[in-house]
Chain A
Amino acid sequence: MRYFVWTFLIGVNSLFAVDEARGVNEKQVRAFLKAHCVKCHGEKKQKGKLALHQIGYGFTDPGEVRKWEDVLEQLTLGEMPPEEEKQPSAKTVKEIRAWISRRLHLAGKDPEIEHKMKQAAYGNLASHEKLFDGSVKAKSFSKARLWRTNPRIYDLFVDRFGRQLRGATAIAQPFTIDEQKGEVSDFAATLYADGATLQRLMMNCKAIAQYQTVGIAKQQKDRKNKGQFITRIYRNTPEAFKVILEGEETVTKEEIEAAVKVEFEIVLNREPSKEELDRYGELLRRTIAQGGRVKGLQTMLMAVLLRPEAFYRMEYGLGKVERDGRRMLSAYELAFAISYALTDAGPDKLMLGPVDRRKRRGGPSLLDLARSGKLSTREDVKRVVTQIMKAKDIDKPRILRFFHEFFGYSHAATIFKGNRIGREFNVKKIVRDADQMVMHIVEKDKDVLRELLTSDRFFVAFPGSKEAYQRTIDRMMKHEGKNKKHPTTKYLVHQRKKGWNPIPEANPTWRKYVKFYNFEEMNWNYPVEQPFAMPKGQRAGILTHPAWLIAWSGNFDNDVVRRGKWIREHLLAGMIPEVPITVNAAVPDDVDKTLRQRMEVTRDAYCWKCHKRMDPLGLAFEMFDDFGRYRKVEQTRDKKKHPAIARGAIINSKESGLDGDVKDAIELVHRLGGSTRVRQSFVRHAFRYWMGRNEKLSDSRTLIAADGAYVDGGGSFKALVISLLTSDSFLYRK
């Protein structure tokens, strides 16, 4: 099987669409404002206190620049002109936007809206109604882009040089990702490599080049002679390199080309082009002349390792060109895109062949499929993605990570509770329980979102299977059982006397963590079958899971505002404006008032404008304390007890039948679970995660199709992901 020829940017002019308007000039912009804006923002009327009839075109006055920013923002968001007015064509709007943007940039102003549109937190800026009402007919695509690698992918990348590399030397992580609770973090537009990255990369590449050539010497204890040290050389040198390193004659052209090819294959998973082969070959010849065979070869290897392509996924769209100018990703690009959409390993490590007797999956790899022409069409992609999604043995860490980023519950460990609680507050276990619940629902793949939001069937301290449970209990009996005074022995005896199953946890302190689900260690018959139904009326779905409740709590209290904000932005597709800079937001800490009472400060008309969109949603969770325990009474700081009131409301959801009061969080999540808007909002977040960018109006078709696939599949999350990964937004570049 021959490798397909890589036509990497050769003979191709700019593949990146630059938003340059052609043929739009100031006169046309004036005409546009006159036709579409000044009726409401002119001499007679100044809606929103904005007048555009006399706007200057100099872009020098700060007030004028701000007005142009406003115009750009409204056009970008598709908010203006209003629906009932005559609409300009999408092409015209695009050109006008490009003209304004260019003038702003020339004036040294980086338009705020363009910055925001790149951030996951502002994804909801695009109109939800327009995205789903089917009015946008444009075909979807993503812009050609470079997507920087993330720390997880890099870790696995380093491993491909040989397992012993890390044992021989320290490999520092050059790439960081700023994880924000409840937001997609791996966003193509916001990640890049800077000077600090390069410094780390250089050090790592130097070590890798050494490991691939002469090896890294390390002093270590001699196992045979105690107290003695020996020097061991760690290396993994491909044959093609040995020929150069150990040869005595002049290095031949063939030897040089073979070495370049090997390194390209290891690092970039492809053959070099003719031009690259010449250039890297020439480099190797020169560096051998400058520094000898060893250092010369190491320098060439570093040059390959430091190529942007080694850590930027390059998505140009080198495949078939459509009539409308959109370009499909090439087979090679698709292999990487699919592989990193679902796993952290490269496409050469993602095996798709039959499973052997040892339950290990063999070739071909995804990359092999690409090379043999079996990854060229949408149908090919669909077949492969479906296979990966359905194969239980293929590890897909990106699925669970999506739910971590969407719900934010995995951040529970970052919430500081100080000495208010003991070591039984084992957040890792609580998060693991939530993970099990999520993955169980995802595996069942039926009504996934509704189940996630409303299921009362939880996992608590579940070791994974009945067999694993029995093994754990046997181990507890064997070890702790020897010592009759050991608390675990006493616990096992106590449970046996009661005829109850014990919790499969040998550590007596950690066993107590079940209290965060309102279970008492000594008064609970552990359910061996899991998930199991929680006590009636106490829990429903992830938002009532201690992991989520803790993640969205403060140091001392529930975090009503951020819980409400999360629901507004993640389930209701809404946006909350930033806190005005004149506002010093803080919850008063009266010792004799419940949190609900203390939150009344936000009822001030000025505050309530925004807080009504958050607080009534967040207050429904006052049936739990800030450790996620269900409660009927709330204790204020003066130690007095008050009934815990969990009344809440959905206000201004923009979906008929969804608004209204709720008696508590249980009613709230059930109502949300049945909502179309909530489902669509979920689809939008999944889109962001898998495309690595925010949705634009031109992604409308992709979103509608993904939502449809989810619904048609009976609430199938797998169908949703398959739909996204076979959509035009995923496959096409422009």
Chain B
Amino acid sequence: MPLTRRDVLRNLSLGASGAAISPAMLPFMEQLRAHADGDVSRIPKRVVFVVKSSGLTPTALVPGALAKEHVKKGDVKKSGDNYDLPEKLVPAEKLVNASLKGRALPKTLKALEPFKDQMAIVQGLSGKMCKGGHSSWYGALGCYRTGGEHDTGQVKWATIDGELALHMPAIFPHVGLTLGGKVMDSGVPIKNSVVYPGISAIGKDRPLPFQGSPMLAYKDLFGIVASGKGAKADVELKSTLLDFMVDDIKRLDKKIGGAEKEKLGHYLEAFESLRERGRRLKGVEAQVRKAAPVVNDKYTSQAETDRLEAHFDLAAASLISGLTNVVTLRVDTLSIIYKGLGITRGVHGIGHGETAGSMTPGEARDRIRRFHVEQIARLAGKLKRIPEGDGTMLDNTLIVYMSDAAEKHHASCIQWPFVLVGGLGDELKTRGQYLQYPHYGRKGHHTIANLYTSLLHAVGKKRDTFGQMDLNLDKEMQKGPLTELAG
């Protein structure tokens, strides 16, 4: 049962369960006001994308009781370039809409048992408008074909996380956190820098940045907490500096034209948003201070798993404090080696069927997925403990666990599995369902664009389609939201 608001205020350390973040944090002031005056429409909606590289395979998401019917043995002899999975999802002729109630979740998703009635496993969607292979780059969230083997390709338009960020603006419109750079980059010193992994964008030619270092992400998001309290002079100086810079750039801006003006515009916009952010942060400083995570050694750890935990803590805290409504967590790339989980082989090797120490590739994949799912469960748990409206923050926050390259290591994008946890108020609900849509091209088939259209509808941005159409599919089946998830 959720805590009352008063409980939350009174006891800030309740149920911390070893996490670096205090879970009982105050939601954004706006939400409190909305809560107080009962105006549900003002409660913000939030979306968290957890995007994995190779390894989120369809069969791993089928509950045991349904496996007999929906999973078959693959052609295990094949190996190498197009390494096939030992198990395959049986293509569905009709929509499978089974309740998870009374069914044990598959091993990979065990940590989500407490949220079984507030989640959905979505299978059978295709994404063949995207490039297959190691990664669909911006296509995975943007529904279009772009990029090559190593290059991200052109950003044609905003990806779904960028689109949502534009529609649900917050102090930080989008927070991107990552373990790595581009999908196959190796040896990139990302731990202390911003990277553009090539999966998210806020508009044409506007890729979204991701922070590799939890410590620097903390400074970006919760810098206000680090600064001394009441240092009025500091605030004044910063404000003077930002005003001066805006003026300085505008002077330059008047003298230039064409595309170069646009470049300077980006920089000016950055200053203006920093200035605006400073103003808005002042108003919510107390809340942000309360919500800020406690920095620990995981923030600077060499172990990927530690840094990922820190990233999830940052994600939770930025949502709870109302700093952002959209987070994308790039939870691994092909170059990551999960030493913290005892896996000695990189995600790429596992994807090609290499054994990882004592683990088979299947076991290693499962171990990595379970770690991600545990983090998702931890995040969901924190959100569920915060009351909001008539329910909890989780009712208004959707966590989307997905792959950036559909169904397998060298994907063909014919089956794109998703795990959804939480919801988007009354507009999008997960009711403890296992949904498997009819296979590619069959009647009732849908694409990932339909799922993204569902998200847009839920946040009030009603439109027929999202992204590029798959020209080999009937147009109608690619239009509109997925009715099974409607509120």
Contact = CB atoms under 8 A, between A and B. Distances in A.
A195 B270 contact: yes
B115 interface: no
Interface residues of B, number: 74
27 contacts: A14-B255, A15-B256, A17-B258, A18-B257, A115-B205, A119-B154, A146-B260, A146-B264, A172-B213, A173-B189, A178-B196, A180-B148, A181-B150, A189-B259, A193-B263, A197-B267, A197-B270, A198-B274, A296-B237, A302-B241, A306-B245, A308-B252, A416-B184, A416-B334, A562-B149, A586-B410, A589-B81
Nearest to A19: B258
Given A195-B274, A306-B245, A581 B129 contact: yes
Contacts, number: 186
Given A146-B260, A416-B348, A581-B471, 17 more contacts: A14-B257, A172-B216, A178-B152, A180-B150, A194-B209, A199-B194, A200-B193, A200-B216, A283-B244, A287-B241, A290-B237, A291-B234, A411-B150, A587-B81, A589-B80, A589-B82, A637-B80
Interface stretch (A66-74, A430-438, A549-557): A549-557
A193 B257 contact: no
A414 B132 contact: no
Given A291-B233, A291-B236, A411-B150, A193 B468 contact: no
Interface string A271-297: 000000001000100110011100110
Contacts of A173: 189, 192-193
A523 interface: no
Contacts of B348: 416, 418
Interface in B180-214: 182, 184-187, 189, 192-196, 198, 204-206, 209, 211, 213
B33 interface: no
A295 B267 contact: no
A193 B267 contact: yes
Interface of A: 9, 12-19, 110, 115, 118-119, 143-146, 148, 170, 172-174, 176, 178, 180-181, 183, 189-190, 192-200, 202-203, 279, 283, 286-287, 290-292, 295-296, 299, 302-303, 306-308, 312, 411, 413-414, 416, 418-419, 554-557, 562, 578-579, 581-582, 584, 586-587, 589, 591, 637
B285 interface: no
B248 interface: yes
Contact of B255 (A12, A19, A299, A581): A12
A308 B258 contact: no
B194 A196 contact: yes
Interface of B: 78, 80-82, 128-129, 132, 145, 148-152, 154, 182, 184-187, 189, 192-196, 198, 204-206, 209, 211, 213, 216, 219-220, 233-234, 236-237, 240-241, 244-245, 248-249, 252, 255-264, 266-267, 269-271, 273-274, 334, 348-349, 352, 354, 410, 412, 468, 470-472
Given A12-B255, A146-B260, A198-B274, A287 B240 contact: yes
B269 A195 contact: yes
Contacts of A283: 240, 244
A557 B81 contact: yes
A194 B270 contact: yes
Contacts of A202: 274
B165 to A, nearest CB: 12
A555 B352 contact: yes
Given A170-B192, A303-B245, A148 B81 contact: no
Nearest to B265: A192
A44 to B, nearest CB: 31
B258 A16 contact: yes
A17 B257 contact: yes
Nearest to A557: B81
Contacts of B236: 290-291
A586 B152 contact: no
A180 B154 CA distance: 12
A292 B233 contact: yes
Nearest to A180: B151
Nearest to B254: A14
A145 B260 contact: yes
A303 to B, nearest CB: 6
Contact of B233 (A172, A290, A303, A411): A290
Residue with the highest number of chain A CB atoms closer than 10 Å, among B194, B260, B468:
B260
Contacts of B129: 581
Nearest to A304: B248
A198 B192 CA distance: 15
Contacts of A14: 255-257
Contacts of A148: 263
A175 B80 CA distance: 37
Residue with the highest number of chain A CB atoms closer than 10 Å, among B150, B184, B189:
B150
B363 to A, nearest CB: 17
Contacts of A198: 267, 270-271, 274
B47 to A, nearest CB: 20
Contacts of A115: 154, 204-205
A290 B189 CA distance: 39
Contacts of B150: 180-181, 411, 414
Given A17-B257, A196-B209, A308 B78 contact: no
A295 B233 contact: yes
Contacts of B220: 199
B240 A581 contact: no
A176 B204 contact: no
A156 to B, nearest CB: 17
B184 A16 contact: no
A582 B471 contact: yes
A637 B198 CA distance: 34
A279 B244 CA distance: 9
A544 B278 CA distance: 57
Residue with the highest number of chain A CB atoms closer than 10 Å, among B149, B213, B410:
B149
A556 B80 contact: yes
Contacts of A303: 241, 244-245, 248
Contacts of A308: 249, 252, 264, 267
Given A17-B258, A283-B244, A581 B145 contact: yes
A211 B187 CA distance: 30
Given A146-B260, A146-B264, A172-B193, A295 B270 contact: no
A302 B211 CA distance: 23
B152 A144 contact: no
B101 to A, nearest CB: 38
B78 to A, nearest CB: 7
